[in-house]
Amino acid sequence: MKLIIANWKAYVATVKEAERLAKKVAQIKIKKGISVVLCPPFVFLDAVKKSMGRTVRLGAQDVFWKESGPYTGAITADMLKGLSVRTVIIGHSERRQHFLESDDIIRKKVDIALAEGFDVIICVGEQAREDAKAVPKLVGEQVRAALAGISKGALARITIAYEPIWAIGTGVSDTPDDALSAAIYIRKVVGDMFGATQANMLKVLYGGSVDSHTIRDFILQEGIDGVLVGRASTDKEEFTKMLSSL
């Protein structure tokens, strides 16, 4: 099964826009073997749930690391479950950069998401394309920190999205071969932590300026299990082309 995760970020501004976009996706004939998850802004989750039909799943862009309490603006796991959300994105580079989320906070979010039964998309990625050593150093550290202390059984509900930061929102994606190399390295790290069997079962996605011209190049890579799509997933025509091309 190949995963297409649509992260709408903060590009969708109104409920009507979110509803139209979800309905458009629901009309696309999704081929067998493809699973699509829509991750709208929190305030649109309910509207999207009612508009997206049964061919796609609902996901959230983040989750808070505490169950409840005096945390103004926090979105907890129980709130998400009440809206039928079953997938959450954790550790996106934009959360790390703009919201100053540390590896420790990300691990806490992974812990509560797993404890509450969510499928978890953990984002990792290096800063600069020129640094050939960035993937094994930074990405390895991010993977090890996010997965520290979890059980082998819980690993089955984790997907890791490799998103080189330099490619996000730039219009310049990584090469499929380099993305595959990063996926292989991520599985090596997981293998060192949990064993070869778990590493081989791990799903690894690519994200970073994926569009209708490049999606097949990544999807067809045997070692890449799907893509995490950002802004392009909020363009109805472009996202339709992406899904129709598979």
- 165-185 tens-digit pLDDT: 766 766 667 788 889 999 999
The arithmetic mean of pLDDT across residues 131-152, rounded, is 85
Residues forming the active site: 92, 163
The arithmetic mean of pLDDT across residues 14-26, rounded, is 95
The residue type found at 8 is: W
150 has pLDDT over 70: yes
Domain boundaries, the chain: 2-244
The residue type found at 44 is: F
131 has pLDDT over 60: no
Q: What percent of the chain has pLDDT over 70?
A: 94
182-239 per-position pLDDT tens digit: 999 999 999 999 999 999 999 999 998 899 999 999 998 889 999 999 999 999 999 9
How far separated are the first and last CA of the chain, in Å rounded? 12
Cα–Cα distances in angstroms (integers) from residue 232 to residues 12, 64, 115, 243, in the given order = 12, 26, 32, 12
Instruction: Report the C-alpha gap between 205 and 96 in whole angstroms.
Output: 19
CATH class of 2-244: alpha beta
Cα–Cα distances in angstroms (integers) from residue 203 to residues 121, 122, 209, 232, 238, in the given order = 10, 11, 20, 22, 25
Give me 6's structure tokens.
């649509």
CB 143, CB 185: distance < 8 Å: no
Instruction: Report the C-alpha gap between 209 and 230 in whole angstroms.
Output: 7
